[in-house]
Amino acid sequence: MNTPTIADELAAALAGARFVFVLTGAGVSAESGVPTFRDAQTGLWAKFDPLELATPGAFARDPKRVWDWYAWRRELVANVAPNAGHHALAAIERRVPAFLLATQNVDGLHAKAGSQALVELHGSLSRVKCSREGTIVATWTAPDDGLPPRCVACGAFLRPDVVWFEEMLPEAALARAEDAATRCDVMLVVGTAAEVYPAAALPLSAKRGGALLVEVNPNVTTLSSAADFAVRAPAGVALPALVAAAWPEAVDRSGT
Ligand code: BV8
């Protein structure tokens, strides 16, 4: 994929930004080999119905199926690495006065790439908790009945520490993201179909607050008409191009 052309106005706005707020979705991890949800062929949802897997009701109905699906995804993300898109976002964070990255992803790749001002709106695959008490559990032994492991304290099934549909998002994380949306002057929306709420409301909130809205996505989404700029390329190509256009001279200690 050749490097996309970045408009001078967009490069200047990013270079001179006071507060950059970023929302990412599954697309930013696609080039790391993590399946997205909606992509027709490879998307997780093409094979599985999320409402049959990512809801409390699904877990209550078939805890083994849901536990196994997340165990498969946990194994998958344990063997992938951040891509140039994740690293470019960490580089932007090091170059602007104020920054926040809110991700819908549960793969932990932004933290692995060095992003620090980071909120995980939908939790993390790497964490497991008691489904009754909510306490995070570091280790567990898979029982031989094939069912999910149980909490040693209360005997309830363990579950992934992710936010399922119909569950509330972590209050502090969402509040921090909503605050950033109203205060930022540039918002990048990267790799998301922007169809899952309340995360999908953040870009419009930033727009209402006067921010420059930039979509990084090879495809058009429901958000595209509201974006001031769109970089129609994969994140792993588009984000490094944005960094190079905004800071042509700067070479970051990590080289990106
Ligand atoms: C809530 C964690 C209050 C788990 C996820 C009816 C009943 C109940 C709720 C609702 C309802 N109607 C609406 C709702 C609200 C619901 C919702 O929004 N539903 C949608 C389907 C309409 N939201 C909720 O339930 C939230 N909680 O509202 O609580 C409440 C309480 C009780 C009752 C009602 C409300 C909780 C939502 C969180 C769900 N958890 N994930 C897990 O991962 O298993 S959602 C999951 O799906 C992701 O986290 C993400 O948010 C979403 C997928 O979206 P994307 O990330 O955008 O990925 P997608 O594949 O769709 O798109 C990829 C994009 O990348 C594409 O645009 C593609 O073009 C692009 N792309 C591809 N390759 C690249 C690329 N871009 C760049 N580079 C590339 N290389």
- Asked whether residue 112 falls in the same domain as residue 239, the answer is yes
- Asked whether residue 242 falls in the same domain as residue 175, the answer is yes
Which pLDDT score is estimated for 250?
A: 75
For ligand 1, whether the C-beta of 148 sits within 6 Å is no
pTM for this entry: 0.95
Average pLDDT of span 237-252: 90
Q: Using alpha carbons, select from 250, 189, 179, 198 the residue that is nearest to residue 223.
A: 189
Ligand 1 mean position, distance from CA 9 (Å): 31
Q: Give a yes or no: residue 254 inside a domain.
A: no
The dihedral over CA atoms of 77, 81, 84, 85, expressed in degrees to the nearest 10, equals: 20
- Asked whether residue 204 falls in the same domain as residue 217, the answer is yes
Q: Give a yes or no: residue 61 inside a domain.
A: yes
Q: What are phi and psi of 83, to 5 degrees?
A: -105, -175
Q: Give a yes or no: residue 188 inside a domain.
A: yes
Higher pLDDT: 207 or 253? It is 207
| Domain coverage including residue 157 | 43-79+129-162
For ligand 1, whether the C-beta of 54 sits within 6 Å is yes
Which pLDDT score is estimated for 159?
A: 98
Percent of residues, the chain, with pLDDT higher than 70: 94
Q: Which tokens sit at 204?
A: 């419009």
Using the structure block, give the residue that is written with the tokens 């969402």: 174
Q: Give the tens place of pLDDT for each residue, 114-162.
A: 999 999 999 999 999 999 999 999 999 888 998 999 999 999 999 999 9
Q: Give the tens place of pLDDT for each residue, 24-52.
A: 999 999 999 998 887 655 666 667 777 78
- Asked whether residue 50 falls in the same domain as residue 109, the answer is no
Q: Give a yes or no: residue 114 inside a domain.
A: yes
- Asked whether residue 152 falls in the same domain as residue 242, the answer is no
Q: What is the CATH number of the domain that holds 14?
A: 3.40.50.1220
Ligand 1 mean position, distance from CA 174 (Å): 14
For ligand 1, whether the C-beta of 72 sits within 6 Å is no
Q: Give a yes or no: residue 252 inside a domain.
A: no
- Asked whether residue 234 falls in the same domain as residue 141, the answer is no
- Asked whether residue 75 falls in the same domain as residue 183, the answer is no
- Asked whether residue 113 falls in the same domain as residue 188, the answer is yes
- Asked whether residue 87 falls in the same domain as residue 72, the answer is no
Q: Give a yes or no: residue 1 inside a domain.
A: no
Instruction: Determine the residue of 36, 72, 202 to mutate for testing ligand 1's pocket, defined as the one with the most ligand atoms within 8 A of the Cβ atom.
Output: 36
For ligand 1, whether the C-beta of 199 sits within 6 Å is yes
Q: Give a yes or no: residue 102 inside a domain.
A: yes
Residue of the nearest CA to atom 53 in ligand 1? 37
- Asked whether residue 188 falls in the same domain as residue 228, the answer is yes
> 214-247 b/e with 16+ CB inside 10 Å = b?
bbbbbeebebeebbbbbbebbbbbbbbbbbbbbb
Q: Give a yes or no: residue 146 inside a domain.
A: yes
Helix-then-strand count for the chain, H and E: 10, 9
Q: What mean pLDDT value characterizes the chain? A: 94
Catalytic residues, by residue number, are 122
Q: What is the CATH number of the domain that holds 59?
A: 3.30.1600.10
- Asked whether residue 106 falls in the same domain as residue 193, the answer is yes
Pair 190, 235: CB distance under 8 Å = yes
- Asked whether residue 232 falls in the same domain as residue 152, the answer is no
Pair 170, 123: CB distance under 8 Å = yes
Give the number of domains in the chain: 2
Average pLDDT of span 169-181: 98
For ligand 1, whether the C-beta of 196 sits within 6 Å is yes
